Structure 1
Amino acid sequence: MGIARDGLRGLLDALVESVETGGSGEEVAARVHVSRFHFDRIVAGALDETPGAFRRRLLLERAAHSLAGGAGVGEAALEGGYLSPEAFARAFRRAYGIAPSAFAGSGLPFRLPSPNGIHFHPPGALLVAGGERSETMDLTDRLLEHDLWLTGRLLDAAEELPADTLAEPLDVEEETIGSMLERLVWSKEMWTAAVEGRPMPERREGSPECLRKRLGEAGPAFTQIVRDARARGAWDTAFVDATCEPPESFTYGGMAAHVLTWSAHRRHLVLEALQRHGVEVEHADPLGWERSDRA
């Protein structure tokens, strides 16, 4: 769409706010600190829809959803931003092909055709098509990349603590901050070795800097294994883990779910320990991470 996701989100936020609060085009543009001309040009280029048309469509979709839920025409007209039911009825008929009074029993969807895949999503949000928010990332990518990103941030944060603090026991699992960080890295090394038929690597503690170097190798290797399984549709395909005694078989899907589940648990324990020592890690939650630069 030719605009960065965060930039587009800022425009959407301003437009969505205008759905609730009203305001002229100049006022909406001022909220994102651009001129009306540039706001209209950027939105039209990004969404293939002018701000006015985008806003009117969302308001009509919201009104149609209300009609389907039993609202009267007058109430829906107000939700649609129309001063009179007559003007609302004319606009509604042009968009949906029927009178608003007949919509509830028509079985028609409340969403109108959209050039950008963005729609009103009840009770009052936006539904953004995946292709409009991301070019390639699906849920697997998000989980893998957030895991690696946050593990790296935890290692960066751990460098602020002295060695004796990293060696302090955690409240659970008989681990320390340092050993739990090492385990986050080692689990990827271990499962990569299992899939590739190599001997199980030994656990070896080290400084956050050393662990980051290991993560730089183990993280991409493990990620590639999971992505290959996804590409081949091999989630249910089993492999033999010869590092177990005796050897056991696991599916690729089960292995990926196991690693990501326990990584999330261990990251949370480390986050809590760091916070107790006054070290904060921003964007630890995937929602914040997705909207950050993810550098």
Structure 2
Amino acid sequence: MTSTDGLTGLLDVLQAALDDPEVAPVDLAARAHLSRFHFDRLVAAATGEPPGVLRRRLLLERAAHRLVTSDRTVLDIAVEAGYGSHEAFTRAFRRSYGFAPTAVRRRRPLTFRELELPCPSGVHFQPPGGLRLPAARQETPMNVLQHLVDHHVQTLTAIIDRAAGLDDQVLDRPVTVSVETIDEQPTLRSLVNAMVTQEEHWLSALRGGEWPDESDRSMTGLAARHAVAGRDWQTFVARTLADGTLADTFVDTTCTPPTTHTLGGTIGHVITFAAVRRTLAIGALRSAGVTDLGAGDPRPYLDRVARATTD
């Protein structure tokens, strides 16, 4: 068994105990088939925190997430976290976060990661009900850019391989744009909505939330939605790049069953699918006589940014 396997086994015991915060430490050790002494020693050595401290922190992180993503009472959430009263929970929460539980509902975080309390191990509560271990290695922005290029080259190789099995009539036939893998029967409105919803969707997933409300598809409504989601998406990407957490994972609670993704993979996903939709939307605008956006090529923008940083 590797050290990672051993840590995972210990954390499995602690994760299961989150729903039973009153379980005694000796019983917790027994679930891991260890004496209380050895269980405490192993958890402290692996995570830098005694089991009781680690468990209380994880319960507070879970409680903070539930405060943000549900309308349940503070007392209900406090009891689930193992506190006997609203007051005791508020004191513990304020001591750890620096503000009261009700304040987190007034200032909802950009992502659930902002609710993670400092710790030496990098082990945190991960919505909807799991634990997140730190990534074994980290990705840099250059790694992700290279991965995107590698993905393009490999996909183009596969396209050529598949096309080699087709006859000349098919190969030379005029292409009718096929977007079944992107959107079904897209319109300019549906493309714009899909791009805005994509920002909202992934931000909600990163907060441990549900699918966003996309009912307002008027251009005024879409502009208002994008003003918020676009800003928050840019902020999330900037923070992820600055923190070097591209390889970290989260659970997408908007899909069934919930699926685990990396932060870098999610950013790459949005860039790729948004580029296709953006190109289609700009083409639809051109057909409507709006031509000032050109082809939507990012190169001129990137060139201008590069020049601005060197001037």
Instruction: Provide TM-score, normalisation by structure 1.
Output: 0.45
Greater CA radius of gyration, 1 or 2?
1
TM-score with structure 2 length normalisation? 0.43
